[in-house]
Amino acid sequence: MDQKKKNIIVTGGAGFLGSHLCERLLDQGHNVICLDNLQTGYKENIYKFLDNPRFEFIRHDICDPIRLEADEIYNLACPASPPQYQANPVSTTKTCVLGSINMLGLAKRNHAKILQASTSEVYGDPKVHPQPESYHGDVNPIGIRACYDEGKRCAETLFFDYYRQHKVKIKVMRIFNTYGPNMDPYDGRVVSNFIVQALKGEDITIYGDGSQTRSFCYVDDLITGMITLMNSDDSITGPINIGNPGEFTIKQLAQEVLTQINSKSTLVFRELPADDPNRRRPDNTFAKKHLNWEPKITLSEGLKPTIEYFRQIIES
């Protein structure tokens, strides 16, 4: 780890991943500025940092320019849950595109390093399995997921053009489905939905027949990968997959949640949303080789603290 104390901007720092990142960076002794418009994030996620003199929260929409000083920028701002990013699709694309332009401009002025929280969604409904970074993906550009998928793809384009044209130091990280404490219990993602439904004894809503797969990474592993990538040699731009290769059908996830909670909830089947990817698993070869990073926490292990987090929220 680079021991020097740095000034670091985290956009989307009041969200699920951003709040964990702020915590880790503060623990490492850095100064952290959290830029967030609280569209899908919560002040509750950052309350405990507010009296830390090395932490500053600025309520700001990254679609608008801002002038700040920083050594590093982590660009995480963007709704990540399909119901949330589809609620205002034009805003989602603006956040990805205008937000990236503003943050890249800030990085350029500051000669700062900038990391983009990209996504496995750039692979769309993949024809190659598992997905290596060299796969260019199969995204429907006019579908209901496109505001996010194409927004993130365009953001990657902008990162690489700022790198080639303006020599900005970039890191592009393709994040696969991640879960853990601080997720919004009602954001509509599969892990939060299933746990909340099981804890409340409600039906578990499986979309389609539940045979589609995802690979779930626990948040602590993900944040380690993110910071390791930021601190890696400038020659490592990515894109780089960071995710857990343990692949599960959605039905298997439901069973695991039911078993851990000892819930009597029943599985019900609902229509599969349009363009829902059929399978997804990261090829982690690049991350292992260049970052010496591998996830350590299995789904079964990571679900335990996640369930406890949701239990406390529901019971409070």
- When asked if residue 214 is in the footprint of ligand UDP (CB under 6 A), the reply is yes
Pick 110 or 193: Cβ nearer ligand UDP: 193
Q: How far is CA 29 from CA 5, 22, 48, 171, in A?
A: 6, 11, 16, 22
Instruction: Report the nearest approach of ligand NAD to the CB of residue 152 (Å).
Output: 7
The binding track of 167-186 with respect to ligand UDP, each residue x by CB under 6 A or -, is: ----------x---------
**Pattern 18-37, ligand NAD, x by CB under 6 A:** x----------------xxx
Report d(CA 293, CA 206) in Å as an integer: 32
- Nearest CA-CA partner of 230 in 29, 1, 47: 1
Give φ, ψ of 144 to 5 degrees.
-75, -15
Contact positions with ligand NAD (CB under 6 A) in 116-155: 117, 119
Catalytic-residue membership of 162: no
Which residue blocks in the chain are alpha helix, DSSP H? 16-27, 82-87, 89-110, 146-166, 190-200, 219-230, 250-261, 285-291, 299-315
Binding positions for ligand UDP, 235-254, rule CB under 6 A: 250
Judged by CB under 6 A, the chain residues 272 through 291 that form the site for ligand UDP are 273, 276
Q: Contact letters (x/-) for ligand NAD, 104-123, by CB under 6 A?
A: -------------x-x----
* Least separation in angstroms between CB 112 and ligand UDP: 30
Q: Could you say which of 12, 15, 79, 82 contacts ligand UDP (CB under 6 A)?
A: 82
SS3 67: coil
Helix axes 250-261, 299-315, angle to 10 degrees: 60
Instruction: Compute the distance between CA of residue 142 and CA of residue 134 in angstroms, rounded to an integer.
Output: 23
Please choose, from the candidates 171, 56, 36, 170, the residue with its C-alpha nearest in 3D space to the C-alpha of residue 111: 170
Among 42, 135, 163, 207, indicate the residue that binds ligand UDP (CB under 6 A): 207
Q: Choose from ligand UDP, ligand NAD, none: what does 77 bind? Cβ within 5-8 Å by kind.
A: ligand NAD
Parallel, antiparallel or unpaired: strands 247-249 and 213-215: antiparallel
Q: List beta partners, residue 26.
A: none
Q: Tell me the window of 64-72, 122-130, 132-140, 202-210 that interacts with ligand UDP (CB under 6 A).
A: 202-210
Q: How far apart are CA 314 and CA 95, in angstroms?
A: 31
Please report whether residue 82 would count as binding ligand NAD according to CB under 6 A: no
> Is there binding between residue 63 and ligand NAD (CB under 6 A)?
yes
- Give the bridge partners for 249, in sequence order: 213
Does residue 148 contact residue 107 with C-beta atoms inside 8 Å? no
Residue 190 is a binding residue for ligand UDP (CB under 6 A):
yes
Residues designated as active site? 148
Query: Using CB under 6 A as the criterion, which residues of the chain lie in contact with ligand UDP when the complex forms?
Result: 81-82, 177, 189-190, 193, 205-207, 212, 214, 250, 273, 276
Query: Using CB under 6 A as the criterion, which residues of the chain lie in contact with ligand NAD when the complex forms?
Result: 11-12, 14-18, 35-41, 61-63, 76-80, 95, 99, 117, 119, 175, 177-178
